[in-house]
Structure 1
Amino acid sequence: MKTLPRVLIVEDEPAIAELIAVNLRHNGFQPIWAMDGETAQRELDDVMPDVILLDWMLPGESGLTLARKWRASSRLKVIPILMLTARGDEPDRVAGLDAGADDYIVKPFSTKELLARIRAVLRRRAPEQAGGAVRLGDLVLDADTHRVSYQNQLLKIGPTEFKLLQYMMSHSERVHSRGQLLDRVWGDHVFIEERTVDVHVKRLRESLGEASNMVETVRGAGYRVTNAPLTPAQLKSA
């Protein structure tokens, strides 16, 4: 018997949580409701969901704090997080993405949009799921063990950044536009802005540390991963 995808709803307003849960059940999902971070953590300790719908404003720890905490967990970092919030300004969207959210949904939202975004994050969890290792100089990504290392040192990389790096390393030296990366890494039915790519590239570079300059910005075109990064002088003149 096929198991229904589990969706953890972390929302302190019962009416909103129930509306989401009813629509999820009617569309082939198994919703679990937690009204705060403490309850959500107990659910996560019990059974891992497939997706987390996380409200920004919660009693106790905020959704932003919880997203950061769960992204720092080796066990929970692979679970897609969709941030639900009434805060729709660009700085708030960027803050949500920087905290570890994979997508950002502004209240009020339509049920159809919510369901589409949930399906999108489930589809794009591994659109480039070729197994085995990809090596580019001293940078190695192993899709089977979900590990990245540089000069034999393991790096801590989030799930979306891992998929982004996997795709770009598998197509190294090519320039990829933001739109192409959204299609290939996130999926071709997403509703997020191209600005999202910039946020995740920034996070990827931070995670790569000394290897960060292997991810190049090609002005007016997009990004590429290269084994021959530009020198500081070249970067300055680029």
Structure 2
Amino acid sequence: MSSSPKLDDTLRAAIIARPDSILEDRDLMHALIDANERSMGGNIVDLRGIAMDRLEARLDRLEDTHRSVIAAAYDNLAGTNQVHRAILRLLDPLEFEVFLRDLGGEVADILRIDAIRLVLESSQSAEDDPAISRLDNVLTVAEPGFVDRYISHGRASQPRQVTLRQLQRGSERMYGAAADWMRSEACLRLDLGTGRLPGLLVMGSEDPHQFTPQHGTDLLAFFSGVFERRMRHFLS
């Protein structure tokens, strides 16, 4: 007579009725495999069990990759929706001053950035211009050559349309009192048309991981292209 404990009749009937429920339960299958290995003794190598362990490890890695791909797809979709909403907001204003106020307000909020600054180069001083003074929280007028120097940090290189970088500290000229808190920024070089000096749109964030060189720039390049066209419209 077997000395093994007998299964409860109800449990045994349930297993017979639905054997697939055991196969689908990973923890239960592990317990059964471990019990089988113990019953074989320590001198027997279960190659099938080793193969299953390796397959399970590969399956876990595939599942992790799948989750990462799905998460990245959702992040990309969310980023695309943000940029599209911001662009639609830029298309609404009919006056330049309203356009700039929206840029520093609702557009910055939609993009979830902590600061946004438009830089226009000019060979003439604009310190006494009352319109510039009213918009000094979003608009800066700089000397010719400032845009390329700011993007390249003074190095002799051809500035790209979109530059993403992390910061130890932001530029005080660009961010004012908030400069100490800026940890990353996106620099969008603007082509304002034939015969005009370039412009610059700077987005600053307190999050060091919001703008890094490893991130893609396609969405910001698209945003920059739309912004350029709106600027050309207002400057014409």
Query: Could you say which TM-score interval applies, normalised by the shorter chain?
Result: under 0.3
Higher strand share: 1
Give the TM-score normalised by structure 2.
0.24
Give the TM-score normalised by structure 1.
0.24
By relative contact order (CA 8 Å, sep 6+), the higher-ranking structure is: 2
